[in-house]
Every structure is written in C-alpha cells, then in structure tokens.
Structure 1
C-alpha cells in the first residue's frame, strides 16, 4: 500500500519571478547591525592577510603632513596594510571605544538636528503643513503638487509615509479621481524621489557625515557642507515632477479605469479629520514667522558689518563660508525648534517646558536603533582606517581606473547602479553608504571627482529602487493603504503600479548624473564636480 504524498505548497504569485527571488534573498539577509558585525570580522581577517602579503600603495604628495596612517618621505605618501591584531590596534579598539562612538560625525549631527525636528513633528506642525498643502487643490494640478510636497515631506521624517501617502488617496477620491493613482504618485514622490528636495535637510546632514569620515582618509582637512548637493537635489524635483505627472495621469489612471466609488460618509469623515482648523492655520502662520526670524538671524551673523562670526575672514573665496556651512547643522535644529514651539504654543500641544523636553526625549528615543547601528558603523570605519586598507584600495583602484581611461560620467553612473542594486536587498540608505563611502569617496577624490559629486550619484541610485522592492520597510504599509480602496490589491499589483516610475527614474537619474559631470555644473554653494587634493603634485 503506497503512502499518499502531500502535494507541494504552491508558491504565492508575489514570490515568483525576479522580484520574488529578490524578496526571498532579501529576507535571508540579517539586520544591518549584524551586517556590520560580519563586515568587521571579515575586515580583521583581511587586515592580517594584507599585512602578511605586504599590500601597499603610494602617490606623489607635496603636503607637509601625512594623513593618518600614511608615511610621507621625499614627496611620496605611502600606506602599508596593518593587521588589526597588533598591540596598538587592540589597545585602540578597547581603550578608545567611547571616543570612537562619540567622535563619529554622523551621530552628533543627526542627534542635533533631531532635537529640533522632534518638536516640529510631535507638536503636529509637519502634519498640519502636509494637510494644509493638499486640501482644495484643483483636480488637474493634483499630481504635480502631490509630487513636490511628497519630495519636500522628507523633512517631516516618517510623516511623509504615515500621513501624506494615505491623505493623497483621500484627496484623489474626493476629487473623483482614482485613489490608487494618488497613492502611487505620492509613494513615487516620497520614496522614489527620496534624493530630491527643495531645500537640504536631515538626509543631507546624515549622508555627508559619512562622506566626511571617508574623505578624511585621504584629506584630513575636508569638511562637509550640508548645502553641497542643493542644486542637484533641486534638479531632481524639477526632473521627476513632470515624469510622475505624465505616468500618473497618462498611464496609470487610464489603466486603472474610472473610479466608481463615491465620497461616502466614511470618506467625508476622514476628510473632515484632515481639515486644518483655525488654530492650526494660526499656528502655521506663527511657525512661518518664527522660521523667518531664524533665517534672518543666521543671515545677520554672516553679513552684519563688523560682526561676522559665521565668516572666516582669514580665508579667501568660498573657504570663507566654511563656518557658515558647518553652522547649518545647528541652524536646521533651531529652525525646526523655533517653528515647532510657535506652532505648539498656538494649538496648545505645548503647555509647559516639560512638554518640550519630553518631545526632545522622544525624538532621541526614536533614534535608539540608529545609535546601535552607529556604534558598529563607527567601529567599522575606524578599523578600516587603522588597517590602511581604505587608502590602499582607493589609490590602487584609482590607478586601475586611470589606466582604463574611463570617462567620469560612466564611473559615477556605475556607482549609482551599484547602490541601486544594493537597495533591492538592504533598505537603509545610511547603512549602505557607511559601507561604500570609505572606498568609493577616496578613490574618486584621487580621480579628481569631489566627495559631493560621489555622494550625489549614490543618493540618486539609492532612491529609485525603493518603490520596486517589497523589502522596502514601508512597502507593507503602502499596500495596506491601497487595500483601504481595493481589497484585492496584492504585492504584484502595487509593484506593477510602481515599476513604470522606477524605470523612468532610473533612466532619467543616470542621464542627469552623467550630464552633471559632463557639463561641470555646480552641485551647490561652494561645491563643484571636480576635486584636487591640497598639496598634491
């Protein structure tokens, strides 16, 4: 008697094909923290191999002082691989552990900005800004406005996903348009357009913090400029807005067909909840005035005759503005804090100084996972520097690329493509950049490409694949928003809605990056495409 076999469980539709393979492989990856634990272990073994095999690199250098880990002799700067198991490096690792964490530039920058942003977010300022921007828009102009606000919503942290995307579906439905089209347009702007914005903000500070750590492997004097990608991220808004407008109105909505629903009582109730009250409008007015006062104050500190603490008079040219650029980190925090206080006091979400302290504490508390991640990322970057493998890989890699005579636009597009590939498996932008930056930033500096341009290429590549993978952390949430309007929407449905945006962003993003380098456009105030190492021959 033969035993009956249990039929194989069918593979769900959303787990089939290439995207299904990506989802399965991505689910096998550990948490980003554990990825850095494994990278540190691998780095320690590699440092021993490099030390035994005598890995080294050198380049002509006319400076007076060698960067950390380098040896300067007769105008030649040399680096030799050093084992992380030497007595000195073991002592560094254990004794300097607190200093390694607290000296990690991105951590301090993010904490400072978050102290102010937490007040703006928890008083309801950011939510009110988003809601007041969307209501009562004319039907034909819904999509471009959704696009611009979506890319600006990055300043509001998670509110872009949690508030703005579902609200876009509501507003489209109220206008008689298909709500799934509104959700898709908002998701494309918030997540696919993650690199774009009207003004720099927290993301710029975070990514440039990692860039600074990497750039100082080669040039210890390099200092981050939070405005270093301003024109580039603004160009992304200009480029992506008509793309989202065309795909949403001309491709997605005809494909979805007319929405048969009506603004029922539940919809009307939700829209009523999203209405901006008179107190909130007054709060937004005072918040705007407070923000204006902070901006005027910072301008005065740079322009007031005879009193310019944010200008270095001893320097020349754009170098004079370096204190101003560094002060922008505190400036962003003060801007969010002042506007959040003005709004909160007006709408009574702040009733005492204790409320403000609690909001700041909650904001820092929300960064607990990031602080854990920063501990391991800081040690990985520090140990990478101690081993000298970073400059060795950068110098030798630069020599190989110089020998191949590959054009700079092509090289940067390759960085962009690599970051977009990693994005399918690792969702955290900071995790990927903290691992990539110690190699690609110094390498491209030696090829004459600025750290700002390399960062711009990375952030472009990191953006457009966000909306094309189920592994993106907010993908299930967006799927739930869609099911509020159509219970049959699955992973495959949402992917099919977002894939045209992702492909269009990829092609246009690569073209924009290549054109920026080819035409040598400035990336932002005081930031250019090209770079020359101070003191290099």
Structure 2
C-alpha cells in the first residue's frame, strides 16, 4: 500500500509575515555595496538639488560659524568640476575631523589588547558556560547585549559559541546563533556600562547639536538610564522570541544531519586554570582602576570634576 502523501505545512499569517521579512532581508546587498550606493546617491541628489537651486533657512543663529550672510543653506552640486575637486580634497579631512574618531581609536587600542590576550573570549565563555540549562537562552542574549562593551567581540566569540552550546544541548544550533546575533545586534547600544559606542554617539550628537547651539555638549552618559532599562527589556524579548518563535519555526532538530567536525570543541571546554587566574587578576585590576577613577570624580576635591561648577558629568572626566 502506497504511503499517504504528506500534508502541506499550515502557515499562519505571522509565519508568512516572517517569511516576507526574511525574503526582503535577503534582497539587501552587501554593506560595502550599500555604502557605495548611498555615496553615489548623495552625489546624484546634490546635482539635482543644485540644478533646482534648492535652499532652506539656516537654523543656526546669525553670525555663527559657517552661516551665510543671507541666512540660507543652498545645495551644492558635486557633479560639477568644483564638486569633484571638493570630494577629492576633502577625503582625508572628512575622516580626521570626525569628532569621535580619537576617542574610538584609543578605546579600540585597549579592546585590542584585551582581545589578543584572551580576556574577552574567556569572560564571554565564563558568562555563558556557567549558566544553568534552563536559562541558557537568556544568558546568551544577555551576554550578546553586554558584549558591546568590548566592541565587536560578540560577533567573533559569542555567535559560534551559542551554536555549539545549543548543539551540545540537543537544540537547534541555528536558534542559538540567532539568539546570540539578536543580542549582539539588537542590543548593540544597550548595556549596563558605558562602552566604546557611547563616546561615538555622544560625539556625533554633539556635532549635530552645535549646529544650533555652538556651546552645547552631549556627554557619553546621556543615555545611560535608557541603556540599562533596554538591556533587561531586550534580554526578555530576545529570549521569548527565540524560545516561542524561532525554535518552533526551525522545526525539530535532527543531530544526525550535523557535521560535528566543524565545531570548535575548545569553545565548549571549561575555563583552564590560567584563564580563571587571568580573569581573577583582571577583575582585581578593574576594581583598582575604578577606585582610582572614583577618587578623581566623587570627592569634592576630585581633580577631574568640572573645576568651575563642580559638576561630575559635564566634566574633564567624561571629556
């Protein structure tokens, strides 16, 4: 007797919506290609708006640096010979005059040392591998969010580690990698601490705000309360979506179809004695540095407080 034909899978409206989102996402080109398209689009739009003579009122006060005598901002065509020369001459200064560049470069020096020494990898593994089985999804999403303290380490370490952990637990590895990716990408600006992204965003916002008020300054802690609240909110949402939407959508995992040889089993190993010792001394080092920082900021005589107002936030400490 012939087997009965399999019934087609019933797809509800939400599943079809997710399939549409996935299809649209797959249509997007590579980020480098997107950047090139946007750059070309700016050049073409500048030519169009310049030809149209488009102009808007300058919101900056009269007499401020860069304000035209008539108080208008006019589109400048980059399709002309002058525009091409402007692009060519300004390539380097556009990069070096970017306000957050210096802060980010210095921060990345420290992140690079911490990553090369194995500190960041060991810290992320310790956080995830020590989590109980029933909260491993929550631990992975949370670790992905806080990993932006060390810039892009979450992409390099946590995503493959999450796949290996889910595989070891008999769960679908893609669900674990999706949970880690959601935490790292979806929670990139959230954290419990100030990370490398915060001075960058503060510098960009300061430059924008100073178009209106040349003396306005945005400090790196401007979004701190929002970041802390977002950390727990995104952890909850990412965990629930992984457990109740992503894993069921992937279906039952069949370990026989996997190739375990492609997994780096060293990622699943417990921390070595050297790694545990290194984390211990690194933790003591962090406490020592935080203590020195506190002495410059908390007491009334703190030398990195604002020398005129005594303010702790709009101070040399955060500059």
TM-score, length of structure 1 as denominator length: 0.48
Tell me, yes or no, if the aligned pair for 1:120 and 1:126 is still in contact at 8 Å. yes
Matches within 5 A, 1:20-419: 20=23, 23-24=26-27, 26=29, 30=33, 32=35, 35-36=38-39, 38-40=41-43, 42-43=45-46, 46-47=49-50, 49-50=52-53, 55-57=55-57, 66-70=63-67, 78-81=71-74, 100-256=94-250, 259-261=253-255, 270=265, 274-308=269-303, 310-315=304-309, 321-326=314-319
In the alignment, the residues of structure 2 paired with residue 60 and residue 35 of structure 1 have an alpha-carbon distance, to the nearest angstrom, of 27
In the alignment, the residues of structure 2 paired with residue 192 and residue 137 of structure 1 have an alpha-carbon distance, to the nearest angstrom, of 21
Tell me, yes or no, if the aligned pair for 1:126 and 1:156 is still in contact at 8 Å. yes
In the alignment, the residues of structure 1 paired with residue 92 and residue 264 of structure 2 have an alpha-carbon distance, to the nearest angstrom, of 52
| Consecutive aligned runs of 4 or more in structure 1 exceeding 6 Å deviation | 88-97, 262-265
Tell me, yes or no, if the aligned pair for 1:68 and 1:217 is still in contact at 8 Å. no
In the alignment, the residues of structure 2 paired with residue 28 and residue 60 of structure 1 have an alpha-carbon distance, to the nearest angstrom, of 34
How far is 1:270 from its partner? 0.7
Instruction: Name the counterpart of 2:9.
Output: none
Tell me how large the CA RMSD over aligned residues is.
3.9
Decide whether aligned partners of structure 1 residues 21 and 248 sit closer, same or farther in structure 2, where only a CA change above 3 A counts: closer
Decide whether aligned partners of structure 1 residues 59 and 208 sit closer, same or farther in structure 2, where only a CA change above 3 A counts: closer
| Residue segments in structure 1 that go unaligned for 5+ positions in a row | 1-15, 327-537
In the alignment, the residues of structure 1 paired with residue 161 and residue 25 of structure 2 have an alpha-carbon distance, to the nearest angstrom, of 30
Q: How many residues align?
A: 298
In the alignment, the residues of structure 1 paired with residue 188 and residue 147 of structure 2 have an alpha-carbon distance, to the nearest angstrom, of 10
Instruction: Name the counterpart of 2:3.
Output: none
Q: Secondary structure at the match of 1:149?
A: helix
Q: Secondary structure at the match of 1:325?
A: coil
Higher relative contact order (CA 8 A, sep 6+): 1
How far is 1:148 from its partner? 0.8
How far is 1:136 from its partner? 3.9
Tell me, yes or no, if the aligned pair for 2:147 and 2:184 is still in contact at 8 Å. yes
Tell me, yes or no, if the aligned pair for 2:162 and 2:176 is still in contact at 8 Å. yes
Q: Secondary structure at the match of 1:26?
A: coil
Tell me, yes or no, if the aligned pair for 2:49 and 2:77 is still in contact at 8 Å. no
Q: Secondary structure at the match of 1:324?
A: coil
How far is 1:181 from its partner? 2.6
Tell me, yes or no, if the aligned pair for 1:58 and 1:79 is still in contact at 8 Å. yes
Decide whether aligned partners of structure 1 residues 136 and 24 sit closer, same or farther in structure 2, where only a CA change above 3 A counts: closer
Decide whether aligned partners of structure 1 residues 38 and 162 sit closer, same or farther in structure 2, where only a CA change above 3 A counts: same
Tell me, yes or no, if the aligned pair for 2:165 and 2:268 is still in contact at 8 Å. no
Tell me, yes or no, if the aligned pair for 1:151 and 1:237 is still in contact at 8 Å. yes
Tell me, yes or no, if the aligned pair for 2:164 and 2:173 is still in contact at 8 Å. yes
Deviating more after overlay: 207-216 vs 273-282: 207-216
Decide whether aligned partners of structure 1 residues 259 and 19 sit closer, same or farther in structure 2, where only a CA change above 3 A counts: closer
Decide whether aligned partners of structure 1 residues 278 and 157 sit closer, same or farther in structure 2, where only a CA change above 3 A counts: same
Instruction: Name the counterpart of 1:4.
Output: none
| Residue segments in structure 2 that go unaligned for 5+ positions in a row | 1-18
